[in-house]
Amino acid sequence: MKITSVKCEKVSEGSIVVTREGKVGKVDATAKTFVITTTKEPLTVQWSAATTFVDVDAAGLGDKYVRVEATASAAGLQARKISLIKQ
């Protein structure tokens, strides 16, 4: 495999980008949040219209294994990209 480009995206001051993997538990479509259980702890993740979904959509998140790239800040985790992990 050959890498042809690397892209760095700017994030807000005081926030960092994290990646977490785990099984989706409770999904709240109204609040646009879900709980992902990682190997360490359950985390609440929020998505928005700006979130990219790969091989899954918001309606199909329940009980799926996903990889979440999110911005972490004092407000919590805001998903930038949610990808299905194929088992």
The answer to whether position 42 is within a domain reads yes
Determine, yes or no, domain membership for 9. Answer: no
Asked whether residue 72 is domain-assigned, the answer is yes
Dist CA 81 CA 19 (whole Å): 9
The answer to whether residue 7 is domain-embedded is no
Instruction: State the pLDDT at residue 53.
Output: 97
Domain range enclosing 74: 16-84
Asked whether 24 and 47 are in contact (CB, 8 A), the reply is no
Torsion-angle region of 39 (φ positive above 0: left; ψ -120 to 50: alpha; else: beta): alpha
Q: Is 72 helix (H, G, I), strand (E, B) or coil?
A: strand
The CATH number of whichever domain residue 42 belongs to comes to 2.40.50.320
pLDDT tens digit sequence for 16-70? 889 999 999 999 999 999 999 988 889 999 999 999 999 999 999 999 999 999 9
